[in-house]
């Protein structure tokens, strides 16, 4: 196994050359117990020594506070179901302004959007909702983005590569659980002032964290973050349509600019009481308030075109468009948790939450043709989203080796939305049948049981069974929709230590997981394409395949996947880990958005409509390599630089779509991270960097459409100067040496070939942060 450890380290570090530095990894962790158990999501994790702490003099004695916290590596090592824990130190390291920038450095994780812009988070490169995102073990409402949650308010990030009965099985790719700050029995008063710059625009940010005791048994934590974010994005698009019968073609060149400004206020708190008998009670309020505005301009030029409105190369209705938008939202959520000891080793845990999110959005789009007004569209949307959840869990040890857990869950979500669309000041008659008001609700009920046990000192097992039922209903203007799905998911995990006190272990998991359709995927309410808008006084005309209308599909079935995980882990004696993880998923009822020509009530002729549809089966498999270690552990005479590297390789195949690029949506062939940091002994300075790379790739989206995505290369760096234990300054740069980022597509029908390429430049963001412990 030592040879395999060296192979993993060599594969991840090959080609890198780092200068020596006097850095140290944390001291070795104590060996895990012979019978490892999965750590509960509410248990605190270790806080390793901060990288910015100054090295004490040899003769100096310091007071050490022991909080009884396990380290991230010891939690990972002891968990029967594979778990990666990201601590506060790692979250803080680069001074990231969004959680997406933190998470993108994890093994196997990719993000959507342009380099340096964050975006939706994908494990195993699988987009489209395959990754389950939780906050304190709970799902957030639709429309909530992790970018709205500042890293300052996060205690740790937990990554589960395979589903468990307790966390839920709606995690085909895996689960990422964001745990907010916890209340500790000590005083903390941290203030962070940050100023960021991109393209000459300044972004101020303030973060404050307060922790203290308010009684002998009670403690609280308060985290406040306020920020203003302004940005400018340029979007350039070129499109060519060629008629196969005549050879005629038409080119459209579009240049757009989007200027936006966002102001947000985030507040999270935790009030916690712990009684001497072991009982505890906690309240955790969470509030997010956002306000944003934007101005978008678009200029289009077109080559040869046809005046026939049914022609695929018809002349544009406008050559200039201005869009002004204003949005505001507020979300409040309160979670309560009670733990009670019923007897020796038996614990009852009850957790409930309730919340609401209100949102208002208004946009005005004005189009012009040769300087004259051609069309205006005014959209106003008001939404109210209510949510509640209840969880009950009973834990009971059976003998010395078994740990039984059973639980019940119930969750409800209700959406009430009013949308008014005016075209040239009048309602659109083509959409009268769908109305302005929408009501939708989702009810989810789940029940699970699991057991963890050990056999001797080397074997640990986990067996779980979870049943889940989801009911969704919606109605608008007399068009009710109902959808119900039920899934049973058996789950098995095992760990085998190669010796009684070995630091090497093997993992295996055999699971069943699923992905339920999103509410927006089910609602049968159309969104008309602005390029082929409807007239003021009648039904819509034809559109083209690359400019479809969009609509939900109430007949969707959940995707169900069978999964296999195999892993080898080597925990190094001086701290760090080397791991190899292989995964396989077989997915049934795969959901993909496909445009099809349909007869629709809002048009006098058939129109292209893009809906999510169950198209068949798919498989995906891959290999994930990870290495975290000190360089001189493997290279003699090297400087002790801390390295954090990972390499992931992916492959997938959708059977009902022709190859060779018939992969899962948005899944690249792999992703790579190379990161390091070290702390100088001669200066109170810590520096580090990370390179994130995802190669370009192609996807056969449908039988008609081939999509191309550019490579991503994001280089980040930081330097932390520690003036004293209570004062430090951090300078960081995100997306150094930025690349332009474009996506393209080719759509081929029996009559046309339509080629499109769209994107723009990305930019470096500089950040300066003052960190104070008051």
Fold designation for 2-773: Maltoporin; Chain A (2.40.170)
**pLDDT reading at 148 higher than 90:** no
Which pLDDT score, from 0 to 100, does residue 330 have? 96
Q: How far is residue 365's CA from residue 378's CA, in Å, rounded to a whole number?
A: 6
The phi-psi region of residue 371 (left if phi > 0; otherwise alpha if psi is between -120 and 50; otherwise beta) is: left
DSSP E strands: which ranges in 19-168?
83-86, 109-111, 121-123, 131-135, 154-160
Please check whether residue 305 is in contact with residue 189, taking contact to mean a CB–CB distance below 8 angstroms: no
- Each domain of the chain, given as residue ranges in start order, spans 2-773
Q: How far is residue 306's CA from residue 316's CA, in Å, rounded to a whole number?
A: 9
Count Cα neighbours of 771 within 13 Å in the Cβ-side half-sphere: 22
Lowest average pLDDT, out of 19-23, 317-321, 346-350, goes to 19-23
DSSP 30: P
pLDDT, tens digit, 9 for 90 and up, residues 248-286: 889 999 999 999 999 999 999 999 999 988 899 999 999
Which pLDDT score, from 0 to 100, does residue 433 have? 67
CB atoms within 10 A of CB 490: 13
Rounded to an integer, the average pLDDT of 195-217 is 95
pTM equals 0.86
pLDDT: is 512 or 37 the higher one?
Answer: 512
Q: How far is residue 740's CA from residue 743's CA, in Å, rounded to a whole number?
A: 10
Confidence of residue 54 (pLDDT cuts 50, 70, 90): very low
Which pLDDT score, from 0 to 100, does residue 191 have? 97
pLDDT, tens digit, 9 for 90 and up, residues 711-759: 999 999 999 999 999 999 999 999 999 999 999 999 999 889 999 999 9
Confidence of residue 478 (pLDDT cuts 50, 70, 90): low
Please check whether residue 75 is in contact with residue 154, taking contact to mean a CB–CB distance below 8 angstroms: no
Pairing of strands 249-274, 218-243: antiparallel
Q: How far is residue 86's CA from residue 646's CA, in Å, rounded to a whole number?
A: 15
Q: How far is residue 531's CA from residue 483's CA, in Å, rounded to a whole number?
A: 32
Please check whether residue 98 is in contact with residue 141, taking contact to mean a CB–CB distance below 8 angstroms: no
Q: What is the 3-state secondary structure (H, E, C) of 62-77?
A: CCCCCCCCECHHHHHH
Q: Note the Cα 45 to chain centre separation in Å.
A: 22
Distances (CA, A) of 30 to 1, 78, 571: 20, 11, 11
Candidates 59, 95, 88, 32; CA nearest to 766 is 95
Distances (CA, A) of 282 to 145, 217, 218: 25, 12, 9
Please check whether residue 167 is in contact with residue 41, taking contact to mean a CB–CB distance below 8 angstroms: yes
Kindly state the tokens that stand for 63: 């007071």
């Amino acid at each position: 196994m030592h040879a395999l450890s060296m192979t993993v380290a060599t594969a991840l570090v090959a080609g890198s050359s780092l200068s020596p530095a006097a850095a140290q990894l944390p001291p070795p962790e104590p060996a895990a117990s012979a019978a490892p158990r999965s750590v509960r999501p509410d248990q605190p994790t270790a806080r390793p020594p901060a990288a910015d702490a100054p090295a004490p003099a040899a003769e100096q004695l310091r007071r050490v506070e022991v909080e009884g916290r396990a380290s991230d590596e010891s939690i990972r090592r002891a968990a029967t179901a594979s778990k990666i824990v990201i601590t506060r130190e790692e979250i803080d390291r680069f001074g990231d302004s969004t959680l997406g920038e933190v998470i993108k450095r994890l093994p196997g994780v990719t993000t959507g959007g342009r380099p340096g812009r964050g975006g939706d988070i994908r494990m195993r490169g699988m987009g489209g909702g395959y990754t389950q995102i939780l906050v304190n073990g709970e799902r957030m409402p639709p429309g909530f983005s992790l970018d709205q949650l500042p890293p300052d308010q996060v205690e740790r990030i937990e990554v589960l590569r395979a589903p468990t009965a307790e966390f839920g099985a709606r995690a085909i790719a895996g689960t990422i659980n964001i745990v907010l700050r916890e209340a500790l029995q000590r005083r903390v008063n941290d203030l962070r002032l940050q100023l960021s710059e991109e393209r000459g625009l300044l972004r101020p940010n303030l973060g404050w964290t307060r922790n203290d005791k308010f009684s002998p048994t009670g403690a609280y934590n308060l985290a406040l973050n306020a920020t203003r974010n302004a940005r400018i994005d340029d979007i350039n698009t070129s499109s060519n349509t060629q008629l196969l019968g005549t050879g005629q073609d038409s080119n459209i060149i579009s240049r757009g600019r989007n200027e936006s400004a966002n102001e947000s206020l985030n507040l999270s708190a935790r009030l916690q009481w712990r009684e001497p008998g072991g009982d505890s009670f906690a309240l955790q309020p969470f509030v997010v308030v956002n306000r944003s505005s934007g101005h978008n301009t678009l200029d289009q030029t077109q080559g040869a075109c046809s005046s026939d409105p049914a022609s695929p190369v018809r002349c544009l209705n406008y050559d200039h468009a201005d869009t002004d938008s204003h949005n505001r939202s507020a979300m409040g959520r309160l979670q309560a948790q009670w733990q009670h000891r019923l007897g020796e080793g038996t614990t009852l845990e009850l957790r409930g939450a309730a919340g609401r999110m209100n949102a208002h959005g208004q946009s005005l789009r004005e189009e012009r043709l040769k300087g004259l007004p051609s069309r205006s569209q005014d959209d106003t949307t008001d939404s109210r989203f209510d949510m509640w959840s209840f969880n009950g869990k009973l834990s009971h040890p059976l003998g010395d080796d078994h740990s039984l857990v059973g639980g019940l869950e119930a969750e409800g979500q209700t959406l009430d939305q009013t949308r008014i669309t005016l075209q040239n000041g009048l309602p659109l008659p083509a959409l009268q049948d769908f109305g302005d008001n929408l009501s939708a609700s989702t009810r989810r009920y789940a029940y699970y049981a699991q057991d963890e046990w050990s056999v001797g000192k080397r074997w640990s097992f986990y067996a779980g069974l979870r049943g889940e039922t989801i009911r969704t209903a919606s109605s608008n203007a007399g068009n009710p929709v109902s959808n119900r799905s039920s899934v049973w998911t058996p789950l098995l995990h095992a760990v085998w230590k190669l010796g009684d006190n070995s630091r090497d272990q093997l993992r295996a998991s055999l699971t069943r997981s699923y992905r339920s359709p999103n509410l927006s995927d089910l609602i049968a309410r159309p969104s008309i394409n602005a390029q082929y808008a409807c007239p003021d006084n009648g039904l819509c005309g034809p559109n083209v395949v690359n400019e479809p209308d969009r609509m939900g599909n109430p007949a969707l079935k959940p995707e169900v996947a069978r999964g296999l995980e195999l892993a080898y882990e080597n925990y190094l004696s001086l701290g760090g880990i080397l791991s190899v993880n292989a995964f396989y998923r077989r997915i049934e009822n795969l959901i993909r958005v496909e445009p099809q020509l349909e007869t629709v009530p809002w048009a006098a002729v058939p129109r292209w409509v893009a809906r999510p549809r169950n198209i068949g089966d798919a498989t995906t498999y891959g290999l994930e390599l990870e290495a975290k270690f000190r360089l001189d552990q493997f290279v003699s005479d090297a400087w002790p630089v801390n390295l954090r590297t990972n390499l992931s390789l992916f492959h997938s195949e959708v059977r009902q779509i022709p190859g060779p690029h018939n992969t899962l949506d948005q899944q690249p062939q792999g992703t790579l991270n190379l990161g390091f940091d070290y702390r100088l002994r001669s200066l109170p300075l810590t520096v580090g960097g990370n390179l994130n790379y995802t190669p370009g790739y192609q996807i056969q989206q449908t039988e008609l459409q081939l999509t191309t995505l550019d490579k991503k290369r994001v280089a980040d760096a930081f330097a932390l100067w520690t003036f004293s234990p209570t004062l430090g300054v951090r300078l960081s740069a995100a997306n150094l040496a930025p690349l332009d980022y474009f996506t393209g597509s080719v759509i081929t029908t029996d009559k046309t070939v339509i080629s499109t390429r769209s994107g723009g430049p990305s930019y470096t963001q500089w950040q300066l942060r003052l960190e104070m412990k008051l």
